[in-house]
Structure 1
Amino acid sequence: MAYDEDLEALNAETPADLRDPGEVFIPADSVYRWDAVGAHRETYAGLPVAEPDVIDHHHNPDPARFAWSLSDGDLLPELRDLLRRVDGSQIQALVVTGSDAHKAPEVLAAHAHRLPRLRSLFLGFIEPEYCEISWIRQGDITPVLEAFPRLERLDVRGSEGLLLRPVRHEHLTVLRFETGGLPGHVVRALSACELPALEHVELWLGVANYGGDATVGDLEGILSGAGLPALRRLGLRDSEIQDDMAAAVATAPVVARLEALSLSMGMLSDTGAEALLDGQPLTHLRHLDLHHHFLSEGMAARIRSALPGVDVDLSEPQPRDERYVAVSE
């Protein structure tokens, strides 16, 4: 069976969510999959993710057709081998697999001149089934943003050791952090960044026990929208202080120009929902994502009634006697 046909057959066995998480907000368990032998069932940035051995299955494959995967443990030799076998100047997307990506930004930055068309990068591309999200080790991701000024998308999974310094980046349009606990210092650095092209920002804020100590105050730069003039989709997800987040969003200047807002996956209760309803109008939104919530049936009905023209996701209601976030450990 040809390689493409083999991937198609694997995907048919367990259909993946075809929506791109850089364009919409989707549930945590619908983002990326692996099969039993390690081949990815999902695409990244619209491209099929391929191990470097895809070269052995294709005669002179087009480097721009794939999101190329590199193992964190053998990143440098794998990158050198990939660049030896394909034209790095045509590579558009890379994913760094495994649970330790802390060296990846430095290694990739050192080879930026060989990857002038890199537009999308995922650090920590590993399914939670094989590695708890809290185990994934990251480092300072700032060198990636500095070395790749044409980068348009950056996804980061895991937050152990994660660092970010305030930067200005002209072309980044999608920035996603999937964590069980996003450190406050990272959120503050992001708030201080100038990202004039950023359209989609998604933060899985997590819980304090796993490093998620960000406060509403840390989000000031994001909620004001001052450095994010193009922002259209804002996700403040998976937070144990989701009610506080909802109250802050209710008066945040950036909300007036959003088309999609996600406060899902966290511990949202009637208190936070009441703050949303009492705050600024949300009727301009195309999509409001509140899935995995702790709302009463009455409050859920009030939200639907108040936003008749908005696609509101109130799926996955949780028992209200004990609250928890969707992703932590």
Structure 2
Amino acid sequence: MSIESSAPIQFYTWKNYRCAYQLHHPDDSGIPLVLIHPIGVGLSGNFWYRFCKEWYEAGNINPIYNPDLLGCGDSEMPRVTYSPQDWAEQVLYFIQTVVKKPVIIVTQGALFPVAIKLVQLDKKLSNRETPWIQKLALSGPPGWKIMTRDGSPVQNKLRWNLLFDTPLGTAFYRYARSRKFLKSFSIKQLFENPDSVDKNWLDMLEKGAANLETRHAVFAFLAGFWREDYEQAIASIQQPTLVVIGQNTSNISREGLKETPDERLAAYLNALPNGKGVKINGRNVLPYEETAEFVQAIAPFIREG
């Protein structure tokens, strides 16, 4: 039985939206992991299925909560300009009302801003001696230059209104969810080894993008609603944070093209008050392409008291 079929899809309601999640090993006593999946064509919580399977095969016992962010997977898909703040509010509500225990957050790629906002919300709203967010594990966070440059709300809205939220945008999404485009983009931008762009990966993306309404979350991300200068916010994260970088990590955005993996890792560790870092094989989708090595990289950090 695959990890996908072994955990049924469950639902909760947030702000009148029906949101989906899966729960693996609910009876185990370890601190729960809450996974934050990347945003992209066809992506949802299913991104993590290899990680979940490998986590338990490696002998780890922590319960894993794997939610679909609003606009993705089996969660509702309203036509809105999603931001990290929106998703952080959703995830904090999920932790408070469904998980009901302090957790460790594991994020992929450019969804690190959701974790940043989540830490800020936890500190501001929870009024607890023990924060809901105990630790953070970051897989391939964006280039430092990208994360510390101000966004442009005006340009974001223009891109959304004039390009993405239009018939032209819909036509582009129909092309972007084609198997040919998905394979080409994955090879050029995401994976170290072209052979790793396998049938399972492409089938998952095609299935995930079958509903055209998934375009809203993707376009909100592409329009740049997640972009802002996060430097001070990162420096204020007191929770222990592990940064995992691929040996061949690259930047999809132009701002960070000259940044080496070592420079990226050093910049994060210089900014994080309680940061640790490690480089492993792979490029930009470490939990999928280098699953076993990624699990080995974060498991000791998860177990630390």
The two structures share one fold, judged by TM-score above 0.5: no
The structure with the largest helix share of the pair is 2
What is the TM-score with the length of structure 2 in the denominator? 0.35
Q: Which structure is richer in relative contact order (CA contacts within 8 A, separation 6 or more)?
A: 2
Larger Rg: 1
